[in-house]
Amino acid sequence: MSKFDVAQFLKDAFGINGPISGIDGYKGVVAIPDITGFGRTSWLGTPVIYPIIFQGQTYRAYNDKGEVTTVTLAPFELPTVTLSSFSRRKNVAETELTAGYGTVKEMYGFGDWQIDIRGICLFDPVKGRNMTPQAQVKRLKDFESVAESIPVLSALYNDKGIDAIVIKEIYFEQLEGRPNTIPFVIRAVSDSPAELNL
């Protein structure tokens, strides 16, 4: 069986320094205690703290001809080596003062969450998944073709009030010398139903 260095994959693909091991005895460095209650471990033996699942259902999606059709997709848990980052702006109108300094600010609400999902498709032999990196890429592309919002099941997202996302862009990269290691980046925005009162 091949050995994987997930920390090195993250560094090579995204420039992220992974966890440091063997730090005992270094002054000023504090080891993070073992995490418990995370639910399950990956086949690599690492805890899966915030799994991200795109919900399965019937969606409107684009076909190869660019036509909107319906497609039924099964639920898909993103690869274990997946990280998300979130940002959101406030909708603020600023009015400059004619005599004085600064501005008057009026807050009207919040914008959508801007979400970057970065991960690495690796062979996943977990029972029930058993997916090659290429099969994971296909599933990601299937969800990217969806022409509506995608419900997301993840405590990391749901804690921020994000129940669904819209995928705006997706990127796949190559790592030199690692044909079965496929990094991906998804740029998405949160989506929530809008209620219009007439």
And the tokens for 22?
């063997």
Q: Which helix (H) or strand (E) holds 8?
A: helix 6-14
Separation of alpha carbons 158 and 187, rounded Å: 18
In a domain, 171, yes or no: yes
**Total domain count, the chain:** 1
In a domain, 1, yes or no: no
pLDDT (tens, 9 = 90+) of the chain, 198 residues, equals 455 566 666 676 666 665 544 445 445 545 555 555 556 677 767 777 888 999 999 999 988 888 999 999 999 999 888 899 999 998 888 888 887 788 888 888 888 999 999 999 988 777 566 788 999 999 999 999 999 999 999 999 999 999 999 999 999 998 888 888 899 999 999 998 766 666
In a domain, 185, yes or no: yes
pLDDT at site 102: 83
Is the Cβ–Cβ distance between 51 and 95 less than 8 Å? Answer: no
pLDDT at site 115: 97
Q: pTM for this structure? A: 0.74
pLDDT at site 130: 72
In a domain, 162, yes or no: yes
In a domain, 138, yes or no: yes
Containing domain of residue 49, as a range? 6-190
Instruction: Please list the helix, strand and coil fractions of the chain in percent, rounded to the nearest 5, in that order.
Output: 15, 35, 50
And the tokens for 142?
């299937």
In a domain, 88, yes or no: yes
In a domain, 84, yes or no: yes
pLDDT at site 114: 96
CATH of the domain at 96: 2.40.30.200
